[in-house]
Amino acid sequence: MSKHGNATSTTDGTVGRHPQYDVFADGYLEHATNSVYNAHYDRPACLRLLGDVANKTVLDAGCGPGLYSEELVRRGARVVGFDQSERMVELSRQLAPQGDFRVHDLADPLDWLDDKQFDLVLLALVLEHVDDRRATLAELRRVLKETGALVVSFQHPPQRGFPTVELFRHNTHRRQMESWLGRPVLEDFSRADIRRDLRRRVLDRADSRAASN
C-alpha cells in the first residue's frame, strides 16, 4: 500500500492490495509539498531522527511521490525507494532522479534487496496501510545493517473506523514496535516535541516576514 492520504479498508477490514493512490498521486504531491502536516510536521521529524545521511544508503519504503527521498538525496544520501503505486514511483523519479525507485508492494517480501544492505530505513506514514505489520517490519529489519536505524511515523490521531491503527492508541505503539522488531526503540518523537518544533517554525517564519517588511 502506498503511503499518505485517507486509508480505506476492504469489506473484511483489511487494507488489501489495490493501488488506490494512483488516481490522486499528482494531487497528493501538490498538497503535501507545503501542507502543515507533511511539510512542517512529519517530514522534519523523520529527517531529524534519521540524522546525518551524507554518504549513507537509505531505503524509503512506501516512498509516495518522493518528497522525503528528494530531501535525502539533497543531503547526500544514496536513496532506494519503492511504492505500490506506479504513478507515485514516476513522481519520485522526477523529484529525485539520483534515486533508484521501483514499484513494489510492502505486503510482499523484499526479495530484490540483500541482507544488511542499508544504513537507514524510512517508513513514513505507511505502517497503517499494511495488513501484516509484523512481516513488513521483519523484512525491513533484514535489509538493515546491525548498526543501522529504522525511522517509522504514522498518522496521529489515528483515523476513526480504520482497525489496523487501533494498536497505536493509548501510547502503546512503542512497546508494540519493540515486540515486532525484536529490539528496543531507542528514541521516539512525540506529538509535543513536534508541536514545539512546528510552533518555532511558524514563529520564525512570522519574524522573517516582519523583518522583510
DSSP notation for 43-85: HHHHHHHH---TT-EEEEET-TTSHHHHHHHHTT-EEEEEES-
87 or 186: which leads in pLDDT = 87
CATH (residue range 20-212)? 3.40.50.150
Does the structure show a pLDDT above 70 at 196? no
Q: Which of these ranges, 35-39, 106-110, 149-153, 158-162, has the smallest mean pLDDT?
A: 158-162
Minimum mean pLDDT among 42-51, 85-94, 102-111, 167-176: which range? 167-176
**Predicted TM-score of the model (pTM):** 0.75
Rg (C-alpha) for the chain, rounded Å, is 17
Cα angle 121, 60, 187 (rounded to 5 degrees) comes to 35
For the record, the C-alpha cell of 43 comes out as: 517530514
Name the range with the highest mean pLDDT among 11-25, 42-56, 186-200.
42-56
User: Is residue 97 reached through a cis peptide bond, with omega within 30 degrees of 0 on the bond before it?
Assistant: no
Q: What is the mean pLDDT of residues 80-87?
A: 96
Q: For residues 91 and 65, is the Cβ–Cβ distance under 8 A? A: yes
